[in-house]
Amino acid sequence: MAIAPFKLAISLGNWDSGHSISSKGASHTCCNPLISRNPWIYCFRSSRSLSIQKRVGVFCEAVTESKGAGAGLAANFGQDRLSKVPISNIRNFCIIAHIDHGKSTLADKLLQLTGTVDKRDMKEQFLDNMDLERERGITIKLQAARMRYVMDNEPYCLNLIDTPGHVDFSYEVSRSLAACEGALLVVDASQGVEAQTLANVYLALENNLEIIPVLNKIDLPGAESNRVIQEIEEIIGLDCRGAIQCSAKEGVGITEILDAIVTRIPPPQDTAAMPFRALIFDSYYDPYRGVIVYFRVTDGTIRKGDRIYFMASKKEYYADEIGVLSPGQMQVDKLYAGEVGYLAASIRSVADARVGDTITHFGRRADKSLPGYEEATPMVFCGLFPVDADQFGELRDALEKLQLNDAALNFEPETSSAMGFGFRCGFLGLLHMEIVQVECSNPSALSDPGKRKSIEEPYVKIEMITPKDYIGSLMELAQDRRGLFKEMKFITENRASIVYELPLAEMVGDFFDQLKSKSKGYASMEYSFVGYRESELIKLDIQINGELVEPLATIVHRDKAYAVGRALTQKLKELIPRHMFKVPIQACIGAKVIASESLSAIRKDVLSKCYGGDITRKKKLLRKQAEGKKRMKSIGRVEVPQEAFMAVLRLEKEVI
Amino acid sequence: MDPGTFDASSLSSFLSLGVNRVSLGVQAFQNELLKVCGRAHCLDHVRESLEIIKSSGLENWSLDLISSLPNQSLEMWEESLRAAIESGAPHLSVYDLQVEEGTKFGAWYKPGQSPLPSEEESAMFYRKAWELLSKAGYEHYEISSYCKRGMECKHNMGYWLNKPYYGFGLGAASYVGGIRFTRSRRMKDYARYVELLESERTREKEIEGLERGGSESENKGMVGVTVIGGLERGEERESESGRLVGRESVWEGVRESESEVVMDAIMLSLRMGRGLEVAGFRGRFGEEILERVCRALRPYVESGHVLPLDEDRRTLSAVDFVRFCESRMQNKSVEYIRLSDPDGFLLSNELISVAFASLSSS
């Protein structure tokens, strides 16, 4: 690897003046070759960065020819990464990989090798930010990192844009892909192609990204590079002649990858002269600065302090602060076409800075926004009610706070006769919902079965990739959930892809967990929404003491109605306290009762004795009885405890 | 007194001392049941003691019966009831068996499960008692108490009308000056207390303490203020509520808060056939509380578990009660509110706790 003959002097302490060079006289030989081509090059001091605490004054020293060599120097160059390079030297790329195939480890290595992150500052898997992510080992929130890499004496600016791997976030993935020109396709050399790999590769190909296949984990004994290469070529149809073999963990092949990024991924188009347009690919809420927006500049230039305009949300702001992520936030004065960065503009909520939106100048607006913007459409809904009605305000505040950082979460107020005031929340999918950690209930808004002609429910297409040993049980699983077999093919001798269509309702819940458990974890799955189909769904009503309890109603498939009805009525009988009269509990379809339980009336509830010393004790008993009453909701004459509602909803989730 | 523990001469000795009422702990008229409840007496003893009492000329006496005993049948219960009636007892205390934790019965038996009767059977026993005893001319004046005209137990009425009283003995309960207190459960402390009381100064202090209700510590919440009836200055003592340091006598109690007193009034008055006396209740606790209680009990007036009565103790209708409530209890139609017999009494816990629930604002 050729290393440019620089020497960098790094000094601690403030360096007050921005040192800019014009093409006129350069005291900075390091930048010399670039100056003649481009007027925008200058070194300037690094600003405070979130993660790197010390102030580092960076400047390029006049250099004498000296033969430096070794990766150590390359690491030093990393400090230089705020320097501008010509557009032709920018590479914007992302890493596509299935879960656990080593994307984060590879990203870490790239950061390290380019000196972007000091070994000391290295927290394992630097890109994973949220605690939940760490727990589950998955990436949810995007991050980006600007790296500086020198090859053949040329400095390059490599922008790594991280992508979420989970199927629920395909829109966010697609927008971050749109911010790139290329992608590293990372495949575990012992595992081979997985469902998620496929889904995201297709997305990348759709976005015309240059894909560099990378086989990771070649250090492992089970690695079969040739087989996997064959898989990739066959299944994806990608030319693997340039495939790079690496072991991110061991640090093997990393430089090859960096070189390949430079040589094979095209630079962004030079549209710096056009009206400013930037694609938002992520944002998050910072309590002190408002929403921080991550974007890729597609055309034009943005300067700090510019008045900007968001084309989809139609809001305008002043870009108080702009900078790059490397990987922490580092302020700059300008960003131009091809670059990736962030801005802070005292934006109130992420809903105002939506992924996929186009930023342009308020004054000189671009004609057209960047393509591909979509409003995130929730697919899974649930009702969220505070157990204590007094906490409605707190719940709303909590949801609003969540929404600050999650544009895909939407919610609106909802009233339920039994549950009081609450919210109906929409999520992109199950993982999304789990992240927000709520309980789910199926919405019940079906009309009278008599009047309805037909009912439709959403269907999804799932593709399961599994070793051949588990084909049988997975097919059984899908069929159990009202799945329609579509096709099966063998990807390799030992692995098959099975495609089913099944109702979303059957997938919500534990389908994924079951898939994993039935295949000992080896199978993987992707799903996509394929529209509404007619279905035999009916509304199951619950009546307590002859009164319809709407919040407990649920939609079930006709075949399951009896079992569900029985389970629900039994559960209610357990949980509703006895009353002074008999309480019939029924499950019905329309007017027809399909399951019924009866809660017997209390016959005797009396304290025989109540003399002097007893009085305090008996009073306490009765007071306790009274407290119990206060926590009830009235359904006509019947007092139903809040716990009963919760338990029934939980049961519905399990049984249905 | 228990059958078999006294004879004619000991009874006459008691009477000569001034005892004017005897309560006989018969419990049952079947030997097998007496054995089951661990009684030391048998049916013969019962008959004997009844004889002794009747021949003593004592006119004011009572007899205890327990229903819902293990393996007790409805026939046996009826038999006991008839025998009790036949004995001519002027007063009967009829108790539904309460199984308490920490007792032998608590360890051996579970309410509602064999050999104890089911809840339904238990309720039937209660109703049977009411049926037979009412027919025999007894007045059901309290949940567990029946008497012939004018023979209400004054002692118990003291409790039920929430009158003040002194109790003496280990762990005895007293209710004086709005403070409910319990005497020491241990002989040593009790003896010390008596010694202290014998000194004049202590006695004065005790009375003062009771009158002032001075407190060393405060109990938060509904229970009221804990009052410590002092130890000798500087003396320390362990009590249930912690370490006590203070003044002269040795007892501790609770000065009831207003809300406690309200609950006393509701609970105790509804346990009586007399019921809650509206005017007095309103006068003592105010209109708002009365309104809450009435509102809470309204559905049960409609179901017949609660009866509104006029000044002549005639039962009013549910409609009358509604009107009464709507007039903000101003029209003087309803003078008493009582639980119906036997239905209301049988479910008195539910009804009283409903009334309790209405008291706190929520």
Condensed to tens digits (0 to 9), the pLDDT of residues A215-267 reads 998 888 888 888 888 888 887 788 888 888 898 888 888 999 999 999 999 99
Condensed to tens digits (0 to 9), the pLDDT of residues A437-471 reads 432 333 333 444 444 445 677 788 898 988 888 99
Greater confidence (B62 vs A202) lies with B62
Question: What share of chain B in percent tops pLDDT 70?
Answer: 83
Enter the tokens of residue A649.
């909803």
Task: Tell me which chain B residue has its CA closest to the CA of residue A580.
Answer: B347
CB contact under 8 A, B354 and A626: yes
Condensed to tens digits (0 to 9), the pLDDT of residues B162-178 reads 888 888 888 888 888 77
> Where would I find the beta strands (DSSP E) of A222-368?
244-245, 277-286, 290-299, 301-303, 307-310, 315-318, 321-325, 329-332, 334-336, 340-344, 358-361
| Predicted TM-score (pTM) above 0.95 | no
E strand or H helix that includes residue A412: strand A410-416
* pLDDT given for residue B329 in this prediction: 74
- For chain B, domains (ranges, CATH) are 8-147 (3.30.750.200), 159-211+239-255 (no CATH), 258-360 (no CATH)
Give the distance from residue B120's alpha carbon to the nearest chain A alpha carbon, in angstroms. Answer: 6
Condensed to tens digits (0 to 9), the pLDDT of residues B204-222 reads 666 665 555 544 333 333 3
CB pairs under 8 A between A and B: 108
Range scoring the smallest mean pLDDT among A23-27, A197-201, A316-320: A23-27
When scoring A608, A614, A633 by the number of chain B Cβ atoms within 10 A, the one with the most, hence best to mutate, is A608
Greater confidence (A509 vs B14) lies with B14
Q: What is d(CA B271, CA A218) in angstroms, rounded to the nearest whole number?
A: 84
Cross-chain CB nearest to A606 (options B165, B267, B349): B349
* pLDDT given for residue A223 in this prediction: 82
pLDDT band at B90, cuts 50/70/90? very high
When scoring A388, A606, A618, A623 by the number of chain B Cβ atoms within 10 A, the one with the most, hence best to mutate, is A606
Give the distance from residue B358's alpha carbon to the nearest chain A alpha carbon, in angstroms. Answer: 8
The residues near B45 (Cβ < 8 Å, ≥ 6 apart) are B3, B4
Pick from A562, A554, A564: nearest CA to A594:
A562
CB contact under 8 A, A629 and B357: yes
> Where would I find the beta strands (DSSP E) of A206-306?
210-216, 244-245, 277-286, 290-299, 301-303
* pLDDT given for residue A51 in this prediction: 25
Residue A333 contacts residue A271 (beta carbons within 8 Å) = no
| Top-confidence range, A90-99, A459-468, A511-520, B70-79 | B70-79
Helix, strand, coil in percent for chain A, rounding step 5 = 30, 30, 40
Calculate mean pLDDT across residues A5-34.
30
CA A25 to chain centre: 48
Give the distance from residue B276's alpha carbon to the nearest chain A alpha carbon, in angstroms. Answer: 16
SS3 sequence, chain B? CCCCCCCHHHHHHHHHHCCCCEEEEEECCCHHHHHHCCCCCCHHHHHHHHHHHHHHCCCCEEEEEEECCCCCCHHHHHHHHHHHHHCCCCEEEEEECCCCCCCHHHHHCCCCCCCCCCHHHHHHHHHHHHHHHHHCCCEEEECCEEECCCCCCHHHHHHHCCCCECCCCCCCEEEECCEEEEECCCHHHHHHHHHHHHCHHHHHHHHHHHHHCCCCCCCCHHHCEEEECCCCCCEEEEECCEEEEECCCCEEEEECCHHHHHHHHHHHHHCECCCEEHHHHHHHHCHHHHHHHHHHHHHHHHHCCEEEECCCCCECCHHHHHHHHHCCCCCCCCCEEEECCCHHHHCHHHHHHHHHHCCCCC
Mean pLDDT of chain A: 74
Cross-chain CB nearest to A603 (options B123, B173, B349): B123
Q: Is the pLDDT of residue A286 over 50?
A: yes
Chain A contacts to B (CB-CB under 8 A): 580-581, 602-613, 615-616, 618-619, 621-623, 625-627, 629-630, 637
Give the distance from residue A324's alpha carbon to the nearest chain B alpha carbon, in angstroms. Answer: 55
* pLDDT given for residue A445 in this prediction: 38
* pLDDT given for residue A191 in this prediction: 82
